[in-house]
């Protein structure tokens, strides 16, 4: 009798998917949930493996039992109590001899059209942004020195264009990292080096508000298998946020170490902290904590969404620990690789 694929193969099977996906055995018991499915259902895969689908969601379990006899791909109306009214697809997974070894359920969120609309808009914005930026440069070069009021107007234009430009770039980054082909060739690299280099890129912004940057590297190479560009982007976003939300005279500390077969990097700040009620949504696109302090700070609400996508695509973990008034710590953990890894 052909065996069910290993958990590693199941994880690889779902890795390219950005929609929530669940794999079941022939009897309808859970074999694997991808990270988007864990977020969609607000559940951890670790405690559900081997349980009936109805334990994860009763309505979805009933739907599956009623429809799996089609022995193929079927798209039907989902249960009315499934949040967001997504499209649910059930696909039979078969061995070469045609025998079903499991089922894959994919939950395609109805928000997909929003992503497509955003993709179209951000690409259309790039050209006029470049034109406007070039026009401002020409004004500075060919016009006489501006008076104070004109200089302030020009400064406001430059600030506005810079903010829109950053928003466009981060929207593009979200789009790119969620693509199945986003990651380039993976190489063993030092995650500690990646965070140290990112810290150096933020020295000027930290100095400008008298924020101290500290790096603590534990012994060990701290090597992981990864895409250096994307991991550098994740590190940039974490350190940029820490500096941005730390008040003048505060401190940002980056600590890297090896523990339990993982490389762990933690970015801690002495900022205002984050209420527990906001922490679960921090990594959602466009979500920002709303209070008197954060309203004075500009941002897109996309940086942490990019971090989450990058770390998940590398098979890692991401977490936050924070209390109001006591600062915040954002941590990432990726599987450790030995120097012998090809």
Taking only the tens place, the pLDDT of each residue in 5-61 is: 777 777 777 776 777 888 988 888 899 888 888 888 888 878 888 898 888 888 888
Q: What is the mean pLDDT of residues 162-186?
A: 66
Taking only the tens place, the pLDDT of each residue in 224-279 is: 998 888 898 899 989 999 999 999 999 999 999 998 889 999 999 999 898 888 88
pLDDT value at residue 186:
80
- Closest Cα partner for 283 from 239, 232, 242, 319? 319
- Closest Cα partner for 285 from 122, 174, 130, 172? 174
- Find the length of the chain: 342
Query: pTM, whole model, 2 decimals?
Result: 0.55
Q: 142 is written with which tokens?
A: 């060919």
Q: 252 is written with which tokens?
A: 């940002």
At 81, which helix (H) or strand (E)?
Answer: none
Taking only the tens place, the pLDDT of each residue in 111-134 is: 554 555 556 666 666 677 777 777
CB-based burial of residue 261 (10 Å sphere; 0-12 exposed, 13-18 middle, 19+ buried)?
A: exposed
The answer to whether residue 292 scores a pLDDT higher than 60 is no
Higher pLDDT, 135 or 212: 212
Q: 55 is written with which tokens?
A: 């334990």
Q: What is the mean pLDDT of residues 331-342?
A: 76
Higher pLDDT, 78 or 193: 193
């Amino acid at each position: 009798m052909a065996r069910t694929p290993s958990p590693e193969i199941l994880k690889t099977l779902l890795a390219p998917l950005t929609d929530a996906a669940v794999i079941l055995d022939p009897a309808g018991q859970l074999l694997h949930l991808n990270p988007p499915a864990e977020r969609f259902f607000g559940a951890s895969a670790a405690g559900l493996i081997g349980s009936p689908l109805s334990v994860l969601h009763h309505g979805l379990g009933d739907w599956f039992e009623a429809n799996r006899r089609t022995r193929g791909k079927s798209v039907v109306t989902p249960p009315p109590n499934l949040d967001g009214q997504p499209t649910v697809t059930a696909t039979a997974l078969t061995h070469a001899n045609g025998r079903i070894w499991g089922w894959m359920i994919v939950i395609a969120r109805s928000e997909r059209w929003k992503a497509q609309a955003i993709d179209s808009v951000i690409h259309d914005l790039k050209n006029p942004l470049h034109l406007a930026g070039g026009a401002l440069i020409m004004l500075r070069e060919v016009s006489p020195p501006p008076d104070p009021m004109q200089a302030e107007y020009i400064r406001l234009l430059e600030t506005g264009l810079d903010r829109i430009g950053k928003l466009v770039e981060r929207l593009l980054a979200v789009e790119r990292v969620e693509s199945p082909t986003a990651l380039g060739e993976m190489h063993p690299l030092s995650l500690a080096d990646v965070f140290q280099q990112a810290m150096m890129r933020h020295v000027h912004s930290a100095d400008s508000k008298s924020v101290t940057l500290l790096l603590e590297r534990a012994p060990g190479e701290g090597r992981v298998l990864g895409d250096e560009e994307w991991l550098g982007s994740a590190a940039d976003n974490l350190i940029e946020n820490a500096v941005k939300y730390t008040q003048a005279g505060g401190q940002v500390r980056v600590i890297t170490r090896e523990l339990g077969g993982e490389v762990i990097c933690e970015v801690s700040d002495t900022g205002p902290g984050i209420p527990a009620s906001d922490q679960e949504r921090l990594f959602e696109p466009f979500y920002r904590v709303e209070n008197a302090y954060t309203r004075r700070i500009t941002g897109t609400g996309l940086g942490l969404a990019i971090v989450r996508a990058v770390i998940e695509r590398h098979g890692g973990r991401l977490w936050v620990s924070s209390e109001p008034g006591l600062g915040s710590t954002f941590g990432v953990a990726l599987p450790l690789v030995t120097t012998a890894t090809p």
